[in-house]
Structure 1
Amino acid sequence: MADKEATVYIIDLGESMADCHNGRDESDLDFGMRYVWDKISTTVAANRKTWTLGVVGLNTDETNNPQDAQQLQGYEHISVLQEIGPMTMTSLRGLKSQIVPCTTSSGDAISAVVVAQSMIETYTKKLKYNRKIILVTNGESPIDDDNVADVAERLNQNNVQLIIVGVDFDDPEYGFKEEDKSSLKRRNEKSLRKLADACNDGVVGTMQQAVEELVIPRLKPVRPFKAYDGPLTLGDPSKHASALSIQVERYFKTKRATPPSASTVVDADRSAFTQTQGFDDEDTEMGGTGFSGVKQMRTYRVDDPDAPGGKRDVEFEELEKGYQYGRTVVHISESDFSITKYETKKGFSIIGFIPFSSYDPFINMGETGLIVASKFNEHAETALSALIHALFEVESYAVARYVNKDGAQVQILLLKPNPGIEDEFECLYDVPLPFAEDVRAYQFPPLDKVLTVTGGVLKEHRLLPNKDLNEAMSDFVDAMDLTSFDVDEDGNPVEYAPIDENYNPVIHRINQAIRARAVDPDSPIGPPAEILLRFSQPPAKLIKKAKSEIEVLVDAAEVKKVPEKGKGRFKKNTVKPLSGLDIDSLLGESKRKTISADNAIPEFKQILSSADDHDVIESAVKQMGDIIRKLITDSFADLFYPRAAENLRVMREELTNLEEPTLYNKFLKTLKKSLLSGELGGDRREMWFKHIIGGHLSLITNEDSEVSDVTEDEAKAVSSFLSLMS
Structure 2
Amino acid sequence: MASKEATVYIVDCGMTMGETSHGRAQTNLDWALEYVWDRITATIATGRKTAMAGVVGLRTDGTSNFLESESEYANITVFQDIGQVFMAQVRRLRGELVVSSTDAGDAMSALIIAIQMIVNTCKKLKYERKIVLITDARGSMQADDLEAVVEKLKEDATQLVVLGVDFDDPEYGFKEEDKPTSKAENEAILKQLCQDCGGTFGTLAQAVDELSVPRVKSVRPTPSYKGSLTLGNPQEFDTALSIDVERYPKTMTAPAQSASRFVVRSDLAPSEVMQATQTLDGEAAPNGYSEGLSAVKNALSYQVDDENAPGGKRDIDRDELAKGYEYGRTAVHISESDRNVTTYETVPSFDIIGFVDKSQYERWMDMTRAALTIAQRGNDKAIMALSSFIHALYELESYAVARLVKKENNEPRIVLVAPCIEPDLECLYDVELPFTEDLRSYKFPPLDRIITVSGKELKVHRNLPNEDLQAAMSDYVDSMDLATFGTNDEGEPTEYMPMDETFSPMLHRIQQVIKHRAVFPESEPPPPADVLVRYSHSPAELVQQSKSALSRVVKAADVKKVPPKARGRRFGRGKEAPKPLSDLDVGALLAKDMKRKRRRIDPDNAIPEFKQLIDAQDTEEALDVVHDACKQFKDIICDWIKHSVGNSGYGRAIEGIRVMRENMAEIDEAGFFNEVLRDIKAKLLGGELGDGRSEMWYMVRVNKLGLLQDQDATNGVSAEEAKAFLTAK
CA change 1:176–1:278 in 2 (3 A) is same
* 2:256 is aligned with 1:251: no
**Contact map agreement 2:707 2:725 (CA 8 A) in 1:** no
Q: How many angstroms apart in 2 are the aligned matches of 1:477 and 1:134? A: 50
TM-score by length of 1: 0.81
CA change 1:472–1:4 in 2 (3 A) is same
CA change 1:459–1:246 in 2 (3 A) is same
**Contact map agreement 1:565 1:574 (CA 8 A) in 2:** no
CA change 1:279–1:551 in 2 (3 A) is farther
**Contact map agreement 1:648 1:697 (CA 8 A) in 2:** no
Aligned to 1:412: 414
Offset of 1:296 from its aligned partner? 1.6
Choose which of 297, 307, 310 in structure 1 pairs with 2:309.
307
Aligned to 2:580: 584
CA change 1:544–1:694 in 2 (3 A) is same
Cα distance per residue 1:292-335 (max 9 Å; x no partner): 21112233444444433444444444444444544554444454
Aligned to 1:242: 239
Choose which of 225, 228, 233 in structure 2 pairs with 1:228.
225
**1:453-492 alignment to 2 at 5 Å?**
453-492=453-492
Offset of 1:510 from its aligned partner? 0.8
Q: How many angstroms apart in 1 are the aligned matches of 2:551 and 2:280? A: 50
Q: How many angstroms apart in 2 are the aligned matches of 1:359 and 1:649? A: 54
Choose which of 181, 184, 205 in structure 1 pairs with 2:182.
184
Aligned to 1:4: 4
Aligned to 1:444: 444
* 2:62 is aligned with 1:65: no
**Contact map agreement 1:700 1:710 (CA 8 A) in 2:** no
TM-score by length of 2: 0.81
Aligned to 2:508: 508
**1:270-419 alignment to 2 at 5 Å?**
270=274, 281-282=285-286, 290-418=292-420
Aligned-partner SS, 2:89: helix
Aligned-partner SS, 1:555: helix
Cα distance per residue 1:158-200 (max 9 Å; x no partner): 222221111122223222233343333223222222322322x
Aligned to 1:152: 150
CA change 1:544–1:237 in 2 (3 A) is same
**Contact map agreement 1:267 1:274 (CA 8 A) in 2:** no
Aligned-partner SS, 2:53: strand
CA change 1:76–1:377 in 2 (3 A) is same
Cα distance per residue 1:592-646 (max 9 Å; x no partner): 748xxxxx9x9999979967557889999999999999xx99xxxxxxx9xx999
Cα distance per residue 1:21-62 (max 9 Å; x no partner): 333232221111111111111111122222222222211233
Offset of 1:4 from its aligned partner? 2.5
Choose which of 256, 261, 265 in structure 1 pairs with 2:262.
265
**1:521-670 alignment to 2 at 5 Å?**
521-568=521-568, 584-586=580-582, 588=584, 590-591=586-587, 593=590, 657-658=662-663
CA change 1:150–1:372 in 2 (3 A) is same
Aligned to 1:636: none
Choose which of 213, 216, 231 in structure 1 pairs with 2:213.
216
Q: How many angstroms apart in 1 are the aligned matches of 2:312 and 2:351? A: 58
**Contact map agreement 2:264 2:293 (CA 8 A) in 1:** yes
**Contact map agreement 2:87 2:280 (CA 8 A) in 1:** no
Q: How many angstroms apart in 2 are the aligned matches of 1:648 and 1:412? A: 55
* 2:24 is aligned with 1:28: no
Aligned-partner SS, 2:535: coil
**Contact map agreement 1:649 1:697 (CA 8 A) in 2:** no
**Contact map agreement 1:604 1:620 (CA 8 A) in 2:** no
Q: How many angstroms apart in 2 are the aligned matches of 1:125 and 1:55? A: 19
Amino acid aligned to 2:141: I
Aligned to 1:197: 195
Tell me which moved more, 149-158 or 548-557: 149-158
Q: How many residues align?
A: 683
CA change 1:105–1:272 in 2 (3 A) is closer
Unpaired runs of 5+ residues, structure 2, are: 266-272, 592-604, 618-625, 666-672
**Contact map agreement 1:664 1:700 (CA 8 A) in 2:** no
Amino acid aligned to 1:297: A
CA change 1:621–1:430 in 2 (3 A) is farther
**Contact map agreement 2:88 2:283 (CA 8 A) in 1:** no
CA change 1:134–1:663 in 2 (3 A) is closer
Q: Percentage identity across aligned positions?
A: 43
Tell me which moved more, 604-613 or 551-560: 604-613
Q: How many angstroms apart in 1 are the aligned matches of 2:280 and 2:457? A: 61
Amino acid aligned to 2:362: D
**Contact map agreement 1:262 1:276 (CA 8 A) in 2:** no
Q: How many angstroms apart in 2 are the aligned matches of 1:239 and 1:278? A: 64
**Contact map agreement 1:371 1:428 (CA 8 A) in 2:** yes
Aligned-partner SS, 2:586: coil
Aligned-partner SS, 1:74: helix
Q: How many angstroms apart in 1 are the aligned matches of 2:101 and 2:321? A: 71
CA change 1:453–1:614 in 2 (3 A) is farther
Amino acid aligned to 1:227: S
Aligned-partner SS, 2:368: coil
Aligned-partner SS, 1:84: strand
Q: How many angstroms apart in 2 are the aligned matches of 1:34 and 1:650? A: 57
**1:133-148 alignment to 2 at 5 Å?**
133-148=131-146
Offset of 1:67 from its aligned partner? 3.4
Q: How many angstroms apart in 2 are the aligned matches of 1:320 and 1:43? A: 47
**Contact map agreement 2:162 2:201 (CA 8 A) in 1:** yes
Aligned-partner SS, 2:234: coil
Aligned to 2:159: 161
Aligned-partner SS, 2:153: helix
Amino acid aligned to 1:177: K
Q: How many angstroms apart in 2 are the aligned matches of 1:604 and 1:693? A: 27
* Superposition RMSD in Å: 4.5
Amino acid aligned to 2:365: I
Cα distance per residue 1:518-567 (max 9 Å; x no partner): 22222221111011000000100100111110111111122223333345
Aligned to 1:700: 705
Offset of 1:466 from its aligned partner? 0.4
Q: How many angstroms apart in 1 are the aligned matches of 2:608 and 2:568? A: 19
Offset of 1:511 from its aligned partner? 0.8
Tell me which moved more, 358-367 or 341-350: 341-350
Q: How many angstroms apart in 1 are the aligned matches of 2:65 and 2:276? A: 43
CA change 1:699–1:372 in 2 (3 A) is closer
Aligned to 1:427: 427
CA change 1:284–1:246 in 2 (3 A) is closer
CA change 1:478–1:621 in 2 (3 A) is farther
Aligned to 1:724: none
Cα distance per residue 1:230-287 (max 9 Å; x no partner): 112223333444332221111111111111112101234149999999987458676x
Aligned-partner SS, 1:96: helix
